[in-house]
Structure 1
Amino acid sequence: MATTTTTTTTTTTTTKEVLIDLSPDIIQYTDGTVERLFGSPHVPPSPEDPTTGVSSKDTTISPLISARLYIPKLTHPTQTLPILVYYHCGGFCLESAFSFLHHRYINLLSAASGALVISVEYRLAPEHPLPAAYDDSWEALKWVCSHADLNQTHFEKDQWIANHGDFNRVYIGGDSAGANIAHNIALRAGSEPLPGNVKILGAILSHPYFWGSNPIGNEPKEDIEQSLSYRTWVFVYPTAAGGIDNPMINPLIDGAPSLSGLGCSKILICLAEKDELTGRGLVYAEKVKKSGWKGEVEVVEVEGEDHCFHIYDTETEKARNLIKRMANFISQ
């Protein structure tokens, strides 16, 4: 049942009817407006970050998609770097590639890994329900890979990518919803070619947002439909066939595309002990290993920490160690 919220000032009284309340994250009203309760402010790119020395800039990929690019300090003018196409967290409806939290985090990851990072600003639900974010993320990856095709002349190439990107070392990755996107992009890359015949070398799935109707680990066993993870998926993808058991949110469900089709050579899965998503993440890792997929699976579970802890506070020892683990996965 819809509820109401009333805001009173000295001159006016405004009543808005709530359509969907996903507090403490987001509220949608019946008039179509959305109130985002969680997130960090947008910050500009840095010509040279004072902490890491990483330079960043913003670019437009298409009328619907933009990105923030990061490049670490070069050792020589013709140096080539591994490429990471990154998808931010936020439940498909919050946060941004341009937010303070992600800007700080990607600066650190780019510096530690020596990677050229393209942090994708995909469209958010509910204004743009899924599969918009999946489509935008795939188009952004194709745009990056198009720089490897010398015959591509229909767009103005970004010089950082064209001059310094190593297309033999292309990675995708993300945290939470972004890790879900990375998984689905890896599956798509296993069956659909990328421009320049580029192959994804590795994928980083950090605290991946997977869910389903059959509880795993410490997921809620009762009132499953009232859990925030369940309700968020229905909110961001109301037309998903199968609902919470759609293969894009539940890759473990019978009938989901085989994980043997993942289009990359290695996967790093990062989990946290206190995160309710961890049990499903561990089962996912085992299912990948047993699927017949020929790649390498690496799993790290951080004791005593919760969901995406390394983004919210990058200065703790455990956060620094996890970022270093991701960086080593990219740079090795």
Structure 2
Amino acid sequence: MSSNTNKEMLVDLSPFLKVYKDGTVERLFGSPHVPPSPEDAVTGVSSKDVNISPAVQARLYLPKLTDPHQKLPVLVYYHGGGFCLESAFSFLDQRYMNILAAEAKALIVSVEYRLAPEHPLPVAYEDSWTALQWVASHAIEKPGMEKEPWLTEHADFGKIYVGGDSAGGNIVHNILLRAGAEPLPGDMKILGGFLSHPYFWRSKPIESETKEETEQNVAYEIWLFAYPSAPGGIDSPMINPFVDDAPSLSELACSRLLVCLAEKDPLTSRGILYVESVKKSGWNGEVELVVVEGEDHCFHVLDPEKDKAKDLIKRLASFISQ
């Protein structure tokens, strides 16, 4: 980090990242990458990395099996980090996925989508869709395709879930809308989706916010940084699902939806508005809302040993395993 002391800065999004005029990106927040594990010492979950395409990778998680032919629900998971930070291969995400896979007894595909600013949005959305298509392709006969054994042997393709935290929750929303408009291979259906502390924003203040508070929030700045060419800017339907020209929430392509929020999180008001808007949209499914008192953004990922974090992860696991 000290090597950047004398460089000229182009963008300062502290405490998250800085970009220098020579193109260097300095990420100030996140956890180190860790390798997959044949068997996690705490949970017994096995993990391995796979290449989905030349640009997209994933880390797969398989819980301990009681039956070698056991079929499991599948969660396609999208990590958080404002589209700019963190990784499916990071310590924080690996720890979280191990716990969730063990608790839900689910096969998890944690997607390593490419990050801004090196790969501005909509690249992350496209990578995320590519990963879901790859999972779906395992349910059909496709001559010449090299299939992943964990999916062919253990995936219950009637129980496909998508989930994500923060920016990952935003990705889930956009993936569910795309799946409503564009069929997946084999016409695979998504049973449910969870949006945990989803990253939504807009130019219009909400509740007691002032216009200045809305525009000066880092959530506003990071979106414009990650997607500088976004049609509509901060009111792009991809970050503002409440804007007039946004796709109807009635088109969300799943039958079950779980939205998890934290009382102290600045994103929570928009998360509540999202649930209310889904209910009013005519969407034909079951939506649940969980708001955890006294906690902040993505607390369960940052410290999964807290009692409230354990409770939330159990709630997520129950949603996936139903």
- Which bracket does the TM-score occupy, shorter chain normalised? over 0.9
Residue aligning to 2:124: 133
1:164 aligns with 2:193: no
2:298 counterpart residue number: 308
Which residue of the other structure, out of 87, 106, 115, is the alignment partner of 1:124?
A: 115
Q: Say if 2:287 is the partner of 1:297.
A: yes
Structure 2 equivalent of residue 318 of structure 1: 308
Whole-Å separation in 2 of the counterparts to 1:104 and 1:47: 14
- What corresponds to 2:239 in structure 1? 249
Q: Distance in 2 between matches of 1:81 and 1:40?
A: 29
Match of 1:78 in 2: 69
Structure number, greater radius of gyration:
1
- Structure 2 residue ranges without an equivalent (≥5): none
Name 2:39's counterpart in structure 1: 48
State which of 34, 43, 56 in structure 2 corresponds to 1:65: 56
- Structure 1: distance between partners of 2:182 and 2:68: 34
What is the count of residue pairs matched by the alignment?
A: 322
Instruction: Give the CA deviation at 1:227.
Output: 1.5
* Structure 2 partner of 1:259: 249
Paired letter, 1:91: G
Residue 85 of structure 2 is aligned to residue 94 of structure 1: yes
* Cα gap change, 1:217 to 1:43, in 2 (>3 Å): farther
**CA contact 1:45–1:58 (8 Å) conserved in 2:** yes
Cα pair distance change 1:21/1:101, threshold 3 Å: same
Cα deviation, 1:117-159, whole Å, max 9, x if unaligned, reads 0000000000000000000000000001100002x12321000
TM-score by length of structure 2 reads: 0.98
- Cα 1:74–1:220 shift into 2, 3 Å: farther
The residue correspondences of 1:190-269 to structure 2 (distance < 5 A) are 190-217=180-207, 219=209, 221-269=211-259
Q: Please tell me whether the aligned partners of residues 52 and 107 of structure 1 are also in contact (alpha carbons under 8 angstroms).
A: yes
**Separation in structure 2 between the aligned mates of residue 232 and residue 220 of structure 1, nearest angstrom:** 19
> Following TM superposition, by how much is the alpha carbon of 1:225 offset from its aligned partner in structure 2, in angstroms?
2.5
Q: Deviations over 1:4-24 (max 9, x none)?
A: x9x68xxxx973111110000
1:154 aligns with 2:144: yes
Q: Deviations over 1:198-239 (max 9, x none)?
A: 100000100000000011246554253321000000000000
Equivalent residue of 1:172, what SS? Answer: strand
CA distance in 1, matches of 2:200, 2:36: 31
Equivalent position SS for 1:140? helix
Select 1:145's aligned residue among 136, 140, 145. Answer: 136
Hey, what's the Cα distance between the residues in 1 that align with 2:209 and 2:77?
27
Matching residue's letter, 1:31: D
Counterpart Cα distance in 2 of 1:90 and 1:116: 23
**Aligned residue identity for 1:42:** H
Moved more, 220-229 or 230-239: 220-229
SS at match of 1:268: strand
Partner of 2:269: 279
**Aligned mates of 2:159, 2:188 — CA distance in 1:** 9
Q: Is the 8 A contact 1:219 1:277 kept in 2?
A: no
1:220/1:227 contact within 8 Å kept: no
CA–CA separation in structure 2 for the residues paired with 1:252 and 1:148: 35
CA contact (8 A) 1:217 1:280 kept: no
- Please give the secondary structure, in 2, of the residue aligned with 1:310: helix
Counterpart code for 2:164: G
Question: 2-side partners of 1:14 and 1:211: how far apart?
Answer: 33
Q: Does the Cα contact within 8 Å between 1:92 and 1:124 map onto a contact in 2?
A: yes
* Residues 14, 314 of structure 1: alpha-carbon distance in 2 compared, 3 angstrom cutoff: closer
Q: Percent identity?
A: 67
**Helix, strand or coil for the counterpart of 2:161?**
strand
* Structure 1 residue identity aligned to 2:185: P
Structure 1 63/220 Cα, relative in aligned 2: closer, same or farther at 3 Å?
farther
Q: Counterparts of 2:87 and 2:95 in 1: how far apart (Å)?
A: 12
Shift of the 290–240 alpha-carbon distance from structure 1 to 2, 3 Å rule, reads same
Give deviations 1:172-220, integer Å, cap 9, x for gaps: 0000000000000000001110011110000010000000001124655
Q: How far apart are the structure 1 equivalents of 2:280 and 2:11?
A: 40
SS of corresponding position for 2:230: coil
Residue 108 of structure 1 is matched in structure 2 by 99
Mean Cα deviation higher: 221-230 or 309-318: 221-230
Tell me the TM-score normalised to structure 1 length: 0.95
Task: Report the alpha carbon displacement of residue 30 of structure 1 after superposing the two structures with TM.
Answer: 1.1
SS at match of 1:144: helix
Q: For the aligned residues, what is the CA RMSD?
A: 1.4
